Amino acid sequence: MSDYKHILLAVDFSKQGDAVAEKAKALATTFQAKLSIVHVLDNIPMPDAYYGTLISLTENSGDPLLEAEKAKLMVIGDQFNVEISNQWLLWGIPKQEIINVAEQQQVDLIVVGSHGRHGLALLLGSTANSILHTAKCDVLAVRLKEGNF
C-alpha cells in the first residue's frame, strides 16, 4: 500500500459524517499525512461580496448563514486538529469542487462517506460515486452502516 502524504476529508455536516472523519483522521495518523477538510456550499445563496468559489474563513462576511457554515467547518477542524489553512469552504457543485481542491492541493487520498446507494441511484450519480469515477488520486468511500442515517 502506498504511503499517503495528503488526505482530504469531504464533510457534508451530516450526522454520520463523524464516522467518516474518524476514519480519515486514523489514516492521517497512521501515514503521518497532512489532513485537510473541505465542505462545499450548494444550498445557500452567495452574498454579493463573493465572486469566486473560495470562501475566506478568516474574514467576516457579515452574512449570518455563511458565518454559520464557516463555524460548522471550523468546529470539525478543531475536533480533528486540522489547521485553518487546510480547511476549505467553497461554493459550487460538491463533486466538482472537491475534485478541484484535491488536484490543486496535491491530495493523494480523498475520503468520503457512502450512503450505501445501489443500482439506479448509483447510475444517477451521487457525490461519492462521481468522485470515485473522476478523481486522479485514490478515493476511500467509507461505508456507513444502516441506522447511521
Residues near ligand AMP (CB under 6 A) are 10-12, 20, 38-40, 42, 94, 98, 112-113, 115, 126-128
Q: Do residues 122 and 91 touch, judged by C-beta distance below 8 A?
A: no
Going 6 to 10 to 126 to 52, the CA torsion angle's sign is negative
Provide the minimum distance between the beta carbon of 39 and ligand AMP in the complex, in angstroms, as a whole number: 5
Provide the minimum distance between the beta carbon of 112 and ligand AMP in the complex, in angstroms, as a whole number: 4
CA distances from 149 to 1, 69, 106, 140 (A): 31, 21, 31, 19
Helix then strand then coil, in percent of the chain rounded to 5, is 40, 20, 40
| Closer residue to ligand AMP (CB): 98 or 99 | 98
Provide the minimum distance between the beta carbon of 115 and ligand AMP in the complex, in angstroms, as a whole number: 4
Provide the minimum distance between the beta carbon of 79 and ligand AMP in the complex, in angstroms, as a whole number: 16
DSSP H or E segment with residue 9: strand 6-10
